[in-house]
Amino acid sequence: MSNAIDLAAPLPAPSDFIRDLVAQHVAEGRYSRIHTRFPPEPNGYLHIGHAKSICLNFGIAREFGGVCNLRMDDTNPTKEEVEYVESIQRDVDWLIAGWADTKLGLKRKGAAPATQSVNGKHDFHLAPVLKTDLGPQALELSEPFFASDYFVQIHAYAVRLIEKGLAFVCDMTPEQTDEFRRTGQASPFRNRPVAENLDLFARMKAGVFPDGTRVLRAKIDVAAPNIWLRDPLLYRIRHAEHHHTGAQWCIYPMYDFAHCLSDYLEGITHSICTLEFEVHRPLYDWILESLDLPRALPHQYEFAKLIPSHMIVSKRKLIALVEAGLVSGWDDPRLPTLSGIRRRGVTPEALRAFAIGVGVTKFVSVTDIALYEHAIREDLNKRALRRLAVLRPIKVIITNYPVGQTEELDATNNPEDETAGKRKVPFSRELFIERDDFAEVPPPKYFRLKPGGEVRLKYAFIIKCDEVVKDAAGHVVELRCTADLDSRTGGANAARKIKGTIHWVSAAHAFDAEVRLYDRLFTEAEPEADGRDYKATLNPRSLEVVSAKLEPSLMQATPAARYQFERLGYFCVDVPGNGKPETQNPKLVFNRTLTLKDTWAKEAQRS
Ligand code: ATP
Ligand code: MG
């Protein structure tokens, strides 16, 4: 038997309490097909927390041969916008595209669902024909779904609740309603006759009443220990245009009413959400159970949110950062928005590995950002093409190298991937090296270039620093060195051992590019701990822009490729989150995804 590990073999599918339940339901044959959904409200851009939910919902559908719907949970006309709808679709597509080709081990189980794939790629999507139970007309919809497409059905269900004596129109002010619910008192309108409720609700819908004057409430239990059951609101008046339904409606269902019914209409089996909805679950069940619905009811399951350290994950607070101009926009590579993460150069494979790797539990805890960065480095180390680039250049003259001569040296594209091959890099008499790789007064154990010292230039010669040239102000402007011309590969001194190896570019052949050096946006693990304003813990060094010298092959850099600038970090070509180049900046721009090592961990150890 061979001990070799088969890297191509899928890893076991992830296992957690939700998947265990789904597996049990599959074993019991409880549903003909597993059906999940990812239901963002289009009131902002998706962030890394949503990535966890996307991977969980689409992942379960994928592993159990089921289906996952992307649904815009758009019941609030005043906060939602088409721009967000489009970005959500783009972000979800980016995160799950090509999933089937990866080796994450998310193996499909069971029979393939009898679905048409929406775009030929994701067969775990489905465009269902919704059976409304309310009329002859079935709704034919395609992805993404919109809760607002169900407003007609949801309204009809509200009417049914009124008819059953389970909902009433309440005329109290919002403040009174809050106060009555808090103190467990019944509304004076609670026992309105059904006919009066039907009439008032019809007039609410017809636009007769101004905003805030009346609501539809469920009649459940005014003194229930769970405040969500104290005659909660089902519908409110909002004379506002909706991004998807226009001016068609002036009454809008509340989240709790619309969500369970949208799940039911789409045939969702497992409605998975975060823990804050646990207290809403009795209401979710009450609504569905009160309507005498003929088909199987969906059930809600809750898990703990992803809270990564050194990040803010709340759409509202992210909006505040953008609006305060503290970042360049939604797709600023320092933000944990999926658009920012994508622009930073993180691949969907790395983000999925992280989002799945953190696991699914009921325990709320902060996830160390180092885990996220580790997943990114693992991924980029495998795929990144190695290149030579100098971020903060200082000139080096090789005095014993002929003026005007150029030679092409072999450089390895990716030591982790033999098939990536080699390329030529030009060498000449004038070079740039990193300013940091020279020290006039070196600290102990300094193995880079120093006066009289030697260092190896990667893929090239060993050089010795003979002379340090300074300007009138005493700044080092040039290093004059001699090369051991027998020390390159194939030469008589090729094997000569030298402690330090540094990177370089040929001055005549390198080209200038803008390089944006991104770092963590916040200095504190929990930017808001101890009641702090998160704006006060912004990292002042989260972005440094340099004009770097890059080896000529990078002129052909492509957005799809990932690069490692040797000894410096992982970089990518900048592509704004909407996929369109920055109009005012036609130059090639590179973004640093991450440094090669976790410099923050080192800092923490030191202090
Ligand atoms: P935010 O607080 O950022 O506005 P939200 O929960 O209001 O987030 P929704 O658009 O309602 O955002 O979220 C869509 C889905 O993503 C929901 O099912 C929600 O539970 C889930 N989700 C949101 N944030 C996280 C997170 N940090 N970790 C895991 N899942 C999340
Ligand atoms: Mg929300």
> What tens digit of pLDDT does each residue of 351-399 get?
999 999 999 999 999 999 999 999 999 999 999 999 999 999 999 999 9
- The protein residue with its alpha carbon nearest to ligand 1, atom 25, reads 49
Q: Which fold has domain 389-503?
A: Ribosomal Protein L25; Chain P (2.40.240)
Two tokens, residue 542: 């989260």
Q: How many CB atoms lie within 10 A of CB 28?
A: 8
Two tokens, residue 599: 């410099």
Q: E-assigned strands of 551-596? A: 563-565, 569-573, 589-595
- The protein residue with its alpha carbon nearest to ligand 1, atom 26, reads 49
Residue 520: pLDDT over 90: yes
CB 132 within 8 A of CB 121: no
The CA distance from 455 to 458, in Å, is 9
Residue 124: pLDDT over 60: no
Residue 99: the pLDDT is 66
Give the closest ligand to the alpha carbon of residue 276.
1
Residue 65: the pLDDT is 79
Residue 287: the pLDDT is 98
The CA distance from 27 to 30, in Å, is 8
Q: How far is the CA of 36 from the centre of ligand 1 (A)?
A: 15
Q: Which residues lie with the beta carbon below 6 Å from any ligand 1 atom?
A: 39-41, 49-50, 52-53, 273-274, 305-306, 313-316
Phi, psi of 253 (to 5 degrees): -75, 150
Pocket test of ligand 1: the residue of 18, 45, 46, 50 to mutate, having most ligand atoms within 8 Å of its CB, is 50
Percent of the chain with pLDDT over 90: 77
Give the closest ligand to the alpha carbon of residue 41.
1
The CA distance from 201 to 162, in Å, is 9
Cα-only R_g, the chain: 30
Q: How far is the CA of 44 from the centre of ligand 2 (A)?
A: 10
Residue 581: the pLDDT is 64
pLDDT bin (cut points 50, 70, 90) of residue 161 is very high
Q: How far is the CA of 371 from the centre of ligand 2 (A)?
A: 26
Identify the residue with better confidence: 121 or 157.
157
Residue 137: pLDDT over 70: no
pLDDT bin (cut points 50, 70, 90) of residue 100 is low
Pocket test of ligand 1: the residue of 69, 84, 274 to mutate, having most ligand atoms within 8 Å of its CB, is 274
Query: DSSP 3-state assignment of 356?
Result: helix
Query: DSSP 3-state assignment of 162?
Result: helix
- b/e burial code for range 69-107 (CB count within 10 A of at least 16 → b): bbbbbbbbbeebeeebbebbbbbbbbbbeebeeeebebe
Q: How far is the CA of 67 from the centre of ligand 1 (A)?
A: 20
Residue 307 Cα: closest atom of ligand 1: 27
In angstroms, the Cα distances linking 433 to 63, 391, 438 are 50, 9, 8
Give the closest ligand to the alpha carbon of residue 44.
1
Pocket test of ligand 1: the residue of 53, 54, 57 to mutate, having most ligand atoms within 8 Å of its CB, is 53
Closest CA to 93 of 344, 348, 436: 348
Give the closest ligand to the alpha carbon of residue 72.
1
**Helix ranges restricted to H, 106-173:** 151-163
- The protein residue with its alpha carbon nearest to ligand 1, atom 23, reads 50
pLDDT bin (cut points 50, 70, 90) of residue 24 is very high
Residue 53 Cα: closest atom of ligand 1: 30
Residue 2: the pLDDT is 40
The CA distance from 53 to 64, in Å, is 16
Q: How far is the CA of 210 from the centre of ligand 2 (A)?
A: 26
Residue 4: pLDDT over 60: no
Q: What is the pLDDT of residues 539-548, one digit of tens each?
A: 999 999 999 9
Q: What is the pLDDT of residues 28-63, one digit of tens each?
A: 999 988 899 999 999 999 999 999 999 999 889 888
- The protein residue with its alpha carbon nearest to ligand 1, atom 13, reads 40
| Torsion angle of the four alpha carbons 334, 340, 341, 346, in this order, in degrees rounded to the nearest 10 | -100
Residue 586: pLDDT over 80: no
In angstroms, the Cα distances linking 68 to 57, 117, 218, 266, 607 are 6, 12, 30, 10, 47
Question: What's 17-305's CATH class?
Answer: alpha beta
Closest CA to 215 of 201, 202, 195: 201
| Segment 228-233 long-range contacts (CB within 8 Å, at least 24 positions apart) | 228/256, 228/279, 228/280, 228/282, 228/283, 229/282, 229/283, 229/286, 230/181, 230/184, 231/170, 231/181, 231/186, 231/187, 231/190, 232/181, 232/256, 232/283, 233/177
Architecture of domain 315-385+513-606: Beta Barrel (2.40)
Given this chain, do its domains 17-305 and 315-385+513-606 carry the same CATH topology?
A: no
pTM of the model: 0.91
Domain boundaries, the chain: 17-305, 315-385+513-606, 389-503
Lowest mean pLDDT among 119-128, 218-227, 474-483, 544-553: 119-128
Q: How far is the CA of 377 from the centre of ligand 2 (A)?
A: 31
Q: How far is the CA of 41 from the centre of ligand 2 (A)?
A: 6
